Amino acid sequence: KKRILSGAKPTADSLHLGNYIGAVRNWVDMQAQYDAVFFIPDLHAVTVDFDPADLAKRTRIVAAQYIAAGIDPDKSIFFVQSHVPEHAQLAWALNCITGFGEASRMTQFKDKTQKSGADSATLGLFAYPTLMAADILLYQSDLVPVGEDQRQHLELTRNLAQRFNTRFGETFTVPEATIVKESAKIYDLQNPSAKMSKTGESPNGAIQLLEDPKIAAKRIKSAVTDAGTEIRFDPAEKPGVSNLLTIFSSLTGKSIAELESDYAGKMYGHLKVDLAEVVVDFVTPLRDRTNELMADPAELDRLLAIGAGRARDIASATLAKVYDRMGFLPSL
């Protein structure tokens, strides 16, 4: 079986709809067919401003959301990154074969530091992509299902794997990104030229999976739409409406073409009212299930501990190989 691996950061009090449609949903579909590894990249969460009082809680929330969305901890390896120290250890080794210029070209780092300036960023944020490469390479992953925004990090990961293999001998599987085109990027509801994110400018731009479904409905209804009246998928001319169609199609399985014909001659308002209902029907059970799981944190922690044990078996074997290839003195 091929191995897939992916994760979503615990940097907010909930995953958002973009995380679900662009990533988590595909993981659930893939776990039956692949040997799957899903983890919560909490070491990545501390590369940006964070509050220690929130981190553990947010990590448990994401864990509960994975399970509520359909990740099965019996089928898949499911754990928290900081519980497996090999991630940080391999990241260091990879840092030492990554060019400074190469890391400087990562657009996410550039985007994140555009406003505040690179001087206010941490070395951790700069090294974020090599930690991500370590996450992937430790498990000899074949496929990495992610949204479009992670494509460049996957390219770097492939380059580092090939570079390491060439320099030190075959060690890593060179992974491939699997990006589902139609849903790879869900946009901000208030600013459809930006991706929906945990840190968007307006809270109304994102649907948080754990918020009151009434608020989610309101956000859909107040989404920015475009000039004109026609409901048509045209991301260049109609980014707002196109985004709503993508969300609609992703949550219902109806094709965009089908939706366009359903809404021919109707107004934006009709689309929004119907989509609001679709979103409410989707988030309500997911939220209820997440809250149920959150009510028993000891059980979540137990599942995560089992997952970390399974993860370490794989990760420690890879790291031992890496250290050996690099020529470190073995520790007795």
Residues annotated catalytic, as ranges: 112, 195, 198
Q: Interacting stretch for ligand TYM, rule CB under 6 A, among 2-10, 214-222, 224-232, 241-249?
A: 2-10
**Are 210 and 179 within 8 A, CB to CB?**
no
Under rule CB under 6 A, residue 84 binds ligand TYM: no
Measured distance CA(190)–CA(48) in Å, rounded: 24
- Residue 15 beta carbon to ligand TYM: minimum distance, rounded to whole angstroms: 8
Under rule CB under 6 A, residue 224 binds ligand TYM: no
* Binding residue for ligand TYM, selected from 41, 239, 240, 307, defined by CB under 6 A: 41
Binding residues for ligand TYM restricted to 106-135, rule: CB under 6 A: 132, 135
**Are 19 and 8 within 8 A, CB to CB?**
yes
Which tokens hold the place of 162? Answer: 């090939």
Q: Sheet containing 3-7: which strands, arranged edge to edge?
A: 77-80, 35-40, 3-7, 143-145, 176-178
Q: Of the two residues 133 and 300, which places its CB atom closer to ligand TYM in the complex? A: 133
* Binding residue for ligand TYM, selected from 13, 35, 54, 149, defined by CB under 6 A: 149
Under rule CB under 6 A, residue 239 binds ligand TYM: no
Which tokens hold the place of 40? Answer: 């919560």
> Looking at beta carbons, which residue is closest to ligand TYM?
22
- Residue 221 beta carbon to ligand TYM: minimum distance, rounded to whole angstroms: 20
- Residue 214 beta carbon to ligand TYM: minimum distance, rounded to whole angstroms: 22
Structural Rg of the chain based on CA atoms: 21
Count interface residues toward ligand TYM (CB under 6 A).
25
Under rule CB under 6 A, residue 8 binds ligand TYM: yes
* Binding residue for ligand TYM, selected from 47, 59, 140, 150, defined by CB under 6 A: 150
DSSP 13: S
Measured distance CA(16)–CA(171) in Å, rounded: 36
Phi, psi of 40, deg, nearest 5: -110, 110
Under rule CB under 6 A, residue 142 binds ligand TYM: no
* Binding residue for ligand TYM, selected from 31, 66, 147, 158, defined by CB under 6 A: 147
Q: Interacting stretch for ligand TYM, rule CB under 6 A, among 140-148, 209-217, 240-248, 265-273?
A: 140-148
Q: Of the two residues 9 and 83, which places its CB atom closer to ligand TYM in the complex? A: 9
Element (H, E) at 145: strand 143-145
Under rule CB under 6 A, residue 9 binds ligand TYM: yes
Contacts of 21 (CB under 8 A, 6+ apart): 183, 186, 246, 247, 250, 251
* Binding residue for ligand TYM, selected from 90, 186, 220, 231, defined by CB under 6 A: 186
DSSP 238: B
Phi, psi of 300, deg, nearest 5: -60, -45
* Binding residue for ligand TYM, selected from 3, 25, 44, 58, defined by CB under 6 A: 44
- Residue 63 beta carbon to ligand TYM: minimum distance, rounded to whole angstroms: 14
Under rule CB under 6 A, residue 7 binds ligand TYM: yes
**Are 131 and 103 within 8 A, CB to CB?**
no
Q: Of the two residues 153 and 287, which places its CB atom closer to ligand TYM in the complex? A: 153
Amino acid found at 237: E
Residue 207: C-alpha distances to residues 80, 99, 127, 217, 290 (Å): 24, 38, 29, 9, 16
* Binding residue for ligand TYM, selected from 69, 144, 160, 271, defined by CB under 6 A: 144
Which tokens hold the place of 283? Answer: 């988030």
Measured distance CA(46)–CA(199) in Å, rounded: 14
Query: Which residues contact ligand TYM by CB under 6 A?
Result: 5-9, 18-19, 22-23, 41, 44, 132, 135-136, 144, 146-147, 149-150, 184-186, 195-197
